[in-house]
């Protein structure tokens, strides 16, 4: 048995092992409850099924969480992503609603460009507060978290802006190559961020700044620029997520778009194995984390769990996920399971299976 364990060690020791186990368990639970859960079918050249729905619905969260991963890796945090999503969604919808032809592709692209540009400015604002002025990230971004909500409501004049624009709607509910367009956008942005951080030296430099800011400065890293950059990237990701959320419902509600998404995003990053203290970050982990959170939300609805207990149910699962991932907790559990270790004999074998 111990040789089996030894063989499995590289698998069970992998960073993504426990998050993936949790995801599989959640999916399995859904399947038990509703056997058709896993089925995916092709209708009119488009894929349908609960799994596709989960990925599509998690797309905005994945986007926000990607940006959040980079911010957290520098040792910061970005609470303003929900508000940035709301502002950019509101601006895009406002611009489109004022056009004579809401279905004009040019108008939609212009709307996206304006909204995206303003989101970059908002990101730069965060970055300047943190890197330039030196305000603690949690406070600096709290400012925009609150002010951004106000800004979004100003833009929508406190109303819900409804639009009727097919091209814009596509961002949220359209299909391309049998897949929902939202999934393709999320995939593309993921690839982009991965290339941006791992094909250049940006990822390593972010990790150096987050791991030891002073040592990085003394190694000649312009850490302020890097910090500024990650807040801009985070806002850019949030803006795209904002487009998606507003396109989903063809309307912008300054109050509701992206509400609490920052918390889900932080959670996704942490579940994915990135430490809140900064340093190493794991984009793949973040995505698994985002999928876990969305699966959880979907399960709550699919299993008809009493809406009043939804939040509590989610909290319990999240605590379980975090505990399962903590090596210290698992070790304690294992010790209780097997209080009497087999004596002397297997010492040699134990030596071999010490996880690296």
C-beta of residue 276 within 8 angstroms of C-beta of residue 79: no
Q: Give Cα separations from 56 to 145, 179, 260, 344 (angstroms).
A: 25, 9, 19, 54
- The piece of 74-82, 131-139, 206-214, 332-340 that touches another protein (CB under 8 A) is 206-214
Q: Which of 26, 71, 185, 226 binds another protein (CB under 8 A)?
A: 226
Locus of tokens 């985070």: 234
**In the complex, minimum distance from the CB of residue 280 to another protein, in angstroms, rounded to a whole number:** 6
Q: What is the CA radius of gyration of the chain?
A: 22
**In the complex, minimum distance from the CB of residue 6 to another protein, in angstroms, rounded to a whole number:** 13
- Report DSSP letters for 266-321, one per residue: HHHHHHTT--TT-S---HHHHHHHHHHHHHHHHHHHHTT--GGGHHHHHHHHHHHH
- The piece of 216-224, 234-242, 243-251, 298-306 that touches another protein (CB under 8 A) is 216-224
If one asks whether residue 15 binds another protein (CB under 8 A), the answer comes out as no
- The piece of 20-28, 75-83, 199-207, 324-332 that touches another protein (CB under 8 A) is 199-207
If one asks whether residue 336 binds another protein (CB under 8 A), the answer comes out as no
Q: Which of 100, 214, 260, 306 binds another protein (CB under 8 A)?
A: 214
If one asks whether residue 325 binds another protein (CB under 8 A), the answer comes out as no
Q: Which of 46, 53, 217, 249 binds another protein (CB under 8 A)?
A: 217
C-beta of residue 287 within 8 angstroms of C-beta of residue 272: yes
Q: Give Cα separations from 280 to 9, 127, 207, 240, 263 (angstroms).
A: 22, 20, 5, 25, 20
Report residue 229 as tokens.
């950059």
**In the complex, minimum distance from the CB of residue 279 to another protein, in angstroms, rounded to a whole number:** 5
**Footprint of another protein on residues 277-306 (CB under 8 A)?**
279-280
Find the helix or strand (DSSP H, E) in which 49 lies: strand 46-49
For another protein, the closer of residues 202 and 287 by Cβ is 202
If one asks whether residue 134 binds another protein (CB under 8 A), the answer comes out as no
If one asks whether residue 7 binds another protein (CB under 8 A), the answer comes out as no
List interacting residues with another protein (CB under 8 A). 199-202, 204-205, 207-208, 211-212, 214-222, 226, 279-280, 347, 351, 354-356
């Amino acid at each position: 048995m111990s040789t089996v364990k030894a063989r499995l060690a590289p698998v069970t020791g992998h960073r993504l092992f426990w998050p993936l186990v949790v995801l599989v368990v959640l999916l399995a639970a859904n399947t038990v409850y509703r056997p058709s859960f896993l089925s995916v079918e092709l209708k009119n050249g488009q894929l349908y099924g609960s799994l596709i729905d989960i990925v599509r619905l998690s797309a905005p969260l994945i986007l926000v969480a990607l940006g959040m991963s980079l911010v957290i890796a520098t040792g910061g945090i970005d609470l303003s992503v929900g508000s940035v999503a709301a502002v950019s969604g509101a601006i895009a919808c406002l611009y489109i609603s004022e056009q004579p032809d809401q279905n004009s592709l040019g108008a939609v692209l212009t709307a996206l460009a304006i909204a995206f540009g303003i989101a970059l400015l908002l990101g730069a604002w965060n970055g300047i507060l943190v890197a330039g002025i030196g305000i603690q990230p949690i406070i600096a971004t709290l400012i925009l978290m609150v002010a951004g909500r106000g800004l979004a409501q100003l833009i929508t004049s406190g109303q819900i802006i409804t639009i009727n624009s097919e091209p814009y709607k596509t961002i949220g509910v359209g299909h391309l190559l049998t897949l929902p367009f939202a999934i393709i956008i999320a995939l593309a942005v993921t690839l982009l961020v991965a290339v941006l951080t791992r094909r250049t030296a940006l990822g390593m430099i972010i990790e150096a700044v987050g791991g030891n800011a002073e040592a990085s400065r003394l190694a000649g890293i312009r850490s302020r620029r890097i910090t500024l950059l990650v807040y801009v990237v985070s806002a850019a990701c949030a803006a795209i997520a904002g487009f998606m959320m507003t396109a989903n419902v063809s309307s912008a509600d300054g109050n509701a778009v992206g509400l609490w998404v920052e918390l889900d995003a932080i959670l996704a990053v942490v579940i994915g194995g990135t430490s809140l203290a900064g340093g190493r970050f794991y984009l793949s982990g973040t995505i698994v984390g985002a999928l876990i959170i969305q699966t959880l939300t979907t399960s709550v609805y699919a299993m008809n769990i009493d809406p009043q207990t939804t939040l509590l149910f989610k909290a319990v699962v999240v605590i379980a996920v975090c505990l399962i991932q903590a090596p210290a907790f698992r070790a304690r559990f294992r010790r209780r399971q097997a209080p009497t270790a087999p004596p002397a004999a297997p010492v040699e074998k134990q030596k071999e299976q010490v996880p690296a």
